[in-house]
Structure 1
Amino acid sequence: MLLFKLECKRLFSGAINKLVLLLFVIAGVFAIYQGAQGYKTLRIDQYKSKIVFQKEREHVNKRETLPAAGSLAYYASAPTEWKLSPWAALFVGESHSSMVASKVRATALQSQIFNREIVNPAQQRTGGLDLGFVLVYLLPLVIGILTVTLISDEQHAGRWRMLNALPKSAFSQVAKQLALRFVVIWLLVILLLVSAAMLLSLPFDGVFWTVLLASTLYMVFWFAIASLIMSFGKTSVFNSLAYLSSWVVFAMLVPSAVHLYLSNQYKTDAPLEISLTQRVTLNDGWDKDKQQTLDTFLQHEPNWQDTAPLGEEFDWKWYYAQQHLSDVEVAQLWQQYRDNNQARQQTLQTLSALSPALFFQLKLNQLANTSSADQADYRLQVVEYHQQIRHFFYDFMFFDKPVTKTDVENFPLFEAKPLNKEINIWQILISALVIFALAFFSAVRLKQLRPI
């Protein structure tokens, strides 16, 4: 017990150690607060979109005479919602730079997806600090500062030979010092996660325990790296530079190289090509035979084949027929774009094994439903909802049915699919085996270290 008290006193006696731990906690608290505010803003935007649409629907129903179905379809911008997990406040992922409450009309879909600003720069938050950033990038630095010079400091102070002469080996003393630092940092991580869970009303479910387990394994990895570096018995300057270099490689260089490779390997101009092709198709459609356009449309949408032929006047069903045909025109480009993104994500998952930091960050985003895959799922939901809207209005336009107030009330609303938080236990087990193998190897080398 006395030795434990001495080690605790030694750990917290240094000004640098106390400052590092304090800054880590402050950064974590600030990240939680900023993430909570950002998540609240996103949820408010989603809620406002629903309220505004409801008010618009009520305004239409108050009119004595309802507009034509085509006119309603043109102005009815129905809100959608990216179903974000509350964990998105802690692990932002793709949600900070993407539309989370896109509005959809019955007109051409792809132009609505790509022919717009993805982000309003005036409303974008400064910086990208979230709890994921603190855990992925700052946590390893805290571990390195508190651990990597333990042995070299003992050597410099002339105590290393004395420790090796004691009945209990020097390795035992160093192991206790490492264990103490691991427990202190681990408790701080738990404190941040529990505080975030209580502030955001997060359940202590499988996601919480998975995040804690992943954070613990991530800590073990960096403690193993620090131990491996110490096992060479070099000076404090060498150890510090070696650890910092390891952090730069695993947390910055490898992820940057992976993303650079993916950008070059899966480079695509599909969004621009889709927007231009669709715009040209729509513009050219005004000069083509309108009945032929409608006939071509009916080949793709046979449920409305019983519609009457077009007359000389403007007809909404021709207008929406050419809108849909412009989507058909770029359907192959859209599918190629989706396949390209899917292949990119699969390659990213494979290459993330090269960097624990990248792998850890991707897993946190997946647990929070803010990954690129979740973004792609949301877009597919928007595509399905767009078809519901089109078919809802087609019944009125192609069969000359008047729109009633009851029909306005029965307009289909977007229903976000349930969150899909699949926890791949095999990936966690394999990661744990690799990390503990590294930790065992580092411990063996550390145990073999002898005084110089």
Structure 2
Amino acid sequence: MYLLLFKNFIRSQSAYLGMLFLLLSGLVSIFVGRQFIEKQKANIEHTAVYQKEHIERYTGYIEKDLGLLLYYLKFGLVNTTDNLNGLSIGQRDVNPSIQSLTIRNLEGQKYDTDLQNPVSLLLGSLDLGFVIIFLFPLVIISFCYNLLSEEKEESTWILLSVQSQTPFRILFKKFMVRFAVITGVLLFLIVLAIPILDLRINAALSGFILVSLFYITVWFALSFWVVSWNKSSRAGAAGLLCFWIVLTIILPAVLNHFILSKYPLPEALDTAIEQREAYHEKWDTDQKPTIDKFYRHYPQFRSYGYPKESFNWLWYYAMQQMGDDESKSQSDQLKAKLWKREEMSRTLSYFVPGLHVQFQLSDLTGSGLADQLRFTKAAEHFHEGKRLLFYPKIFANEPTGSINWKQFQLEYYSERSTINWLAMLGPLLLFSLLFYYLGSVNFRKQTVL
């Protein structure tokens, strides 16, 4: 029976067009992902070479004044890009994956990013995650919207009902044939992506596959429920398209607007202004209050006292430190609100399958807001470590040659969130069971079973 139904389905023009559409868009998305990964790797290699040449050049120019040298020197921290990120780029094309920092004021540096074409960023990237979330449901709709209505409109359903005691099983098998075809296309694209993107076979890739399969199941279950309404083909197509528009476009946009309104970010501008004013105004004040505040922050450096020169590096880097310290309140509020946005978005996504899948794919590939916030936190620790390393050497007026500058290579951050399989797959499974149950109830009422 399955073989017969498969042959009947595969002969239709819509089946060929649907599969061809998914295969072409999926193939393009994989190569877009590869291009993104290659660009990221090229940026990392370029930064590594630049940092080495940058340090060699400036240490050659400035041989005695360590404070002046460290005014210029930049040290890089890289947010490691896994090749799996090529399947779901997420926010990686917006947020910086490399932080090159001096030991000066941090708040003025940590949000620096590469120059990008804003139009390209607005349009986003055609990655496989986009194809799965937005395009696969459309093809599923085109395959399933008229499974029952077509039979009735062609007057074959009555004949089938007379000849078979369980016509529902035949209808269910037609759904299963289409599910198998769509699943086959998805798995084919992922198998194709493994050598193209050089993916590792690990838990993250398994999670990506399972989330995608469960999401497809949700749309088949939803189609099953809409078909159970026993309406015309036009009504079925209109109903499913309305669900697609609401679940993939309208609801995410409404929730995003709600979250942005609930957690506005005036602190972003306040932080930028406060850190600039806190540093620049120190040029017009006495050195002692600035140095006193610096010693309250770093009591271990009190032994360096109060230099009498009109300009000294202790005072200068104390001013830089004050830019961070006096804007810390606004900076902490900004980070807290960003985390609240992330947590509320994640909670609300449990009720919107497409949004939930987007969050899970971002977690698996390390391309979401949560990953960027953790990377920013790591950059703060990285910056603080460099300060604590160099401050004593600057204040003691050590020569630049006393430091082995070759040891300062790019450093890498690779922490990722752990996979919570229940939270990842549970909501999708519940949606699938709910829609299947509602469809089964409708079919029982119509005595189709």
- TM-score interval w.r.t. the shorter chain? over 0.9
What residue number does 1:214 align with? 211
Cα 1:209–1:117, aligned 2, differ >3 Å: closer, same or farther? closer
User: Among 228, 234, 244, which residue is 1:237 paired with?
Assistant: 234
The separation in 2 between residues aligned to 1:123 and 1:387, in whole angstroms, is 36
Cα 1:335–1:153, aligned 2, differ >3 Å: closer, same or farther? same
The separation in 2 between residues aligned to 1:76 and 1:61, in whole angstroms, is 9
User: Among 408, 411, 416, which residue is 1:415 paired with?
Assistant: 411
Q: Give the AA of the match of 1:367.
A: L
Judge conservation of contact 1:230–1:446 (CA < 8 Å) in 2: no
Judge conservation of contact 2:88–2:362 (CA < 8 Å) in 1: yes
Give the drift of 1:321.
Answer: 0.5
The separation in 2 between residues aligned to 1:117 and 1:216, in whole angstroms, is 35
Matched, 1:130 2:100: no
3-state secondary structure, aligned to 1:354: coil
Give the drift of 1:176.
Answer: 1.0
Q: How many residues align?
A: 446
The separation in 1 between residues aligned to 2:73 and 2:238, in whole angstroms, is 60
The separation in 2 between residues aligned to 1:373 and 1:176, in whole angstroms, is 42
Q: With the length of structure 1 as denominator, give the TM-score of the two structures.
A: 0.94
What residue number does 1:37 align with? 35
Give the drift of 1:444.
Answer: 4.0
Judge conservation of contact 1:164–1:450 (CA < 8 Å) in 2: no
Please tell me the root mean square deviation across aligned C-alpha atoms, in Å: 1.9
The separation in 1 between residues aligned to 2:57 and 2:410, in whole angstroms, is 20
**Pairwise mapping of residues 21-170 of structure 1 onto structure 2 (< 5 A)?**
21-62=19-60, 66-114=63-111, 116=112, 119-121=115-117, 124=120, 127-170=124-167
The separation in 2 between residues aligned to 1:421 and 1:284, in whole angstroms, is 41
Give the drift of 1:367.
Answer: 0.3
The separation in 2 between residues aligned to 1:60 and 1:118, in whole angstroms, is 23
Judge conservation of contact 1:308–1:398 (CA < 8 Å) in 2: no
What residue number does 2:276 align with? 279
The separation in 2 between residues aligned to 1:155 and 1:450, in whole angstroms, is 15
Segment drifting more, 10-19 vs 91-100:
10-19
Matched, 1:329 2:329: no
Matched, 1:355 2:349: no
Among the aligned pairs, what percent are the same residue? Answer: 24
Judge conservation of contact 1:86–1:200 (CA < 8 Å) in 2: yes
Judge conservation of contact 2:44–2:78 (CA < 8 Å) in 1: yes
The separation in 2 between residues aligned to 1:244 and 1:354, in whole angstroms, is 19
Give the drift of 1:352.
Answer: 0.5
Segment drifting more, 182-191 vs 293-302:
293-302
Judge conservation of contact 1:106–1:386 (CA < 8 Å) in 2: yes
What residue number does 2:264 align with? 267
Judge conservation of contact 2:66–2:399 (CA < 8 Å) in 1: yes
Cα 1:406–1:316, aligned 2, differ >3 Å: closer, same or farther? closer
Unaligned runs of 5+ in 2: none
Judge conservation of contact 2:65–2:397 (CA < 8 Å) in 1: no
What residue number does 2:193 align with? 196
The separation in 2 between residues aligned to 1:168 and 1:189, in whole angstroms, is 34
Matched, 1:315 2:293: no
Give the drift of 1:430.
Answer: 2.8
Question: Where does structure 1 differ by over 3 angstroms across 4 or more consecutive aligned residues?
Answer: 3-6, 60-63, 116-119, 122-127, 446-451
What residue number does 2:295 align with? 298
**Pairwise mapping of residues 7-26 of structure 1 onto structure 2 (< 5 A)?**
7-26=5-24
Q: Give the AA of the match of 2:244.
A: W
Segment drifting more, 370-379 vs 266-275:
266-275
3-state secondary structure, aligned to 1:108: coil
The separation in 2 between residues aligned to 1:74 and 1:51, in whole angstroms, is 20
The separation in 1 between residues aligned to 2:306 and 2:95, in whole angstroms, is 42
What residue number does 1:176 align with? 173
The separation in 1 between residues aligned to 2:252 and 2:430, in whole angstroms, is 22
Q: With the length of structure 2 as denominator, give the TM-score of the two structures.
A: 0.94
**Pairwise mapping of residues 375-414 of structure 1 onto structure 2 (< 5 A)?**
375-404=372-401, 406-411=403-408, 413=409
Give the drift of 1:400.
Answer: 2.2
Give the drift of 1:277.
Answer: 1.1
Cα 1:301–1:123, aligned 2, differ >3 Å: closer, same or farther? farther
Cα 1:131–1:388, aligned 2, differ >3 Å: closer, same or farther? same
Cα 1:119–1:362, aligned 2, differ >3 Å: closer, same or farther? farther
The separation in 1 between residues aligned to 2:79 and 2:55, in whole angstroms, is 22
Judge conservation of contact 1:220–1:439 (CA < 8 Å) in 2: no
